[in-house]
Amino acid sequence: MAAKKKSAPKTGMAFLKGKTVLVTGGTGTFGRAFVARLLKEPVGKIIVFSRDELKQSQLQHMYLREKRLRFFIGDIRDRERLNRAFHGVNIVVHAAALKQVPATEYNPTEAIKTNIIGTQNVIDAAIDAGVEKVLLVSSDKAVQPINLYGATKLAAEKLSVAANAYSGGGVTAISVIRYGNVIGSRGSFIELLRTQRASGVITLTHENMTRFWITIERVMDIVLQSLQVMKGGEIFVPKMKNLPVADVIKLLTPECKVELIGVRPGEKLHEVLITEYEAPRTKDIGFAFAIKPEFTFGSNRTAWLDKKPSAEKDFIYASDNPMYRLTSKEAAKILTL
């Protein structure tokens, strides 16, 4: 008898059937991709929550016949608006943030108001409204941050994980997903290559710089899988591979000259997704790594992770680790202009 063929892991799923899902920052790169993905799933309603009415209008025109879509203009700084928007919502994916490193360095109070206080507003409104699941979209820059954007994302992660302690016996579970560079997203290095290619010169800050790389499609898979299994308090980290930025330039724009311009303020040579302090609390759950919180909540929501295998000894999840290097074939498949 022939061996049974293993079925591919599910990504959509029954848990979404009939649910109302709200996406903060729903008109950004992540939000638009997530809306498109959710429309392929059996959700009951999708609410796009953002403060940009032009982008909302553009998104509406893309889905004129889609009856499951709703649009809320609002700012996560406005707690009352969140209270209204979250009424009857089952799942919140929180992607709204100020993300540009130079802009947040120059406007620190604005970054704090949106990324930290805004996240606290989302948490409080979700708990008060009885939202079942909240997933914060974080960043690799939250790990050992050296710029304000990273520091605000670290604070947002801490707020989200700790909130499971004071949500008490309520229904709301709050978790985090943390990942690196999304290929081709707005403001990404790949977008910069597209812009600079015509000039024949590509700027590179340092010849030894490395980064993790992931496609937006893969991010969507991990987000849905994380939503499916989360119990509250986990930090989910996709299994990503790395490559030197200089190698990306050679692959995608081999005809161009490279101009070294020096490392910019707030920029790291290498990115870290899981620190040495988090490694002992890191579990391998197949489609991703999951970091357990430092403390247990009354209900010990993350006990399900105890049965999962721990990360390898001396686990270092950094973009300069050759163990996680993209092969030439893998790089050519996912890195395109």
Catalytic residue status for 141: yes
pLDDT over threshold 50, residue 120:
yes
Q: Using the 8-state DSSP alphabet, how is residue 116 labeled?
A: I
Per the model's pLDDT, the better-predicted residue between 71 and 7 turns out to be 71
> Across-strand partners of 231?
none
User: pLDDT digits over 76-101, tens only?
Assistant: 999 999 999 999 999 999 999 999 98
In whole angstroms, give the CA distance from residue 263 to residue 210. 12
CATH assignment of the domain containing 129? 3.40.50.720
pLDDT of residue 39: 96
Over range 234-247, report the average pLDDT: 96
> Is the residue at 327 inside a domain?
no
**By the 8 A CB rule, do 175 and 233 touch?**
yes
Q: Which pLDDT does position 168 carry in this prediction?
A: 64
In this predicted structure, the answer to whether residue 212 has a pLDDT above a threshold of 50 is: yes
Lowest-confidence segment of 4-8, 199-203, 291-295, 296-300 by average pLDDT: 4-8
Predicted pLDDT at 180: 87
- The confidence score (pLDDT) of residue 296 equals 79
Under a CB-based contact definition with an 8 Å cutoff, are residues 245 and 204 in contact? Answer: yes
Q: Is the pLDDT of residue 4 over 90?
A: no
Q: Which of 15-24, 76-85, 259-268 has the lowest mean pLDDT?
A: 259-268
Number of compact structural domains in the chain:
1
Packing angle of the helix pair 148-166, 118-129 (nearest 10 deg): 20
For residue 85, what are its two tokens?
């928007």
Q: Range of 235's domain? A: 14-182+213-240+272-318
Look at residue 17 and tell me whether its pLDDT is greater than 60: yes
Whether residue 334 is contained in a domain is answered as no
In what order do the strands lie in the sheet containing 181-182? Answer: 181-182, 210-214, 241-244
Strands 201-204 and 45-50: unpaired
Q: Which amino acid is at 94?
A: H
pLDDT band at 169 (very low <50, low <70, confident <90, very high): low
Nearest alpha carbon to residue 30 among 78, 72, 93, 82:
93
pLDDT above 70 for 165: yes
Q: Is 160 among the domain residues? A: yes
CB-based contacts of 125, cutoff 8 Å, min separation 6: 79, 82, 83, 85, 86
Residue 10 has pLDDT above 60, yes or no: no
pLDDT of residue 45 exceeding 90, the answer is yes
- In a domain? residue 40: yes
Residue 169 parent element (H or E): none
Domain assignment present for residue 258? The answer is: no
Tell me what pLDDT residue 300 has: 82
| Residue 328 domain-assigned (yes or no) | no
What's the pLDDT band for 6 if we cut at 50, 70, 90?
Answer: very low
What's the token pair of residue 33? Answer: 């991709």
DSSP-derived 3-state class of residue 63: coil
Over residues 138-164, mean pLDDT: 96
Q: What is the CA radius of gyration of the chain?
A: 20
DSSP element (H, E) containing 201: strand 201-204
pLDDT score of 260 more than 70: yes
The model's confidence at residue 337, banded by pLDDT at 50, 70 and 90, is: confident
In the structure encoding, which two tokens stand for residue 73, read together? 């203009």
What value does the mean pLDDT of the chain take?
92
Name the catalytic one among 99, 133, 141, 153.
141
Give the mean pLDDT of 146-167.
Answer: 95
Residue 11 pLDDT more than 60?
Answer: no
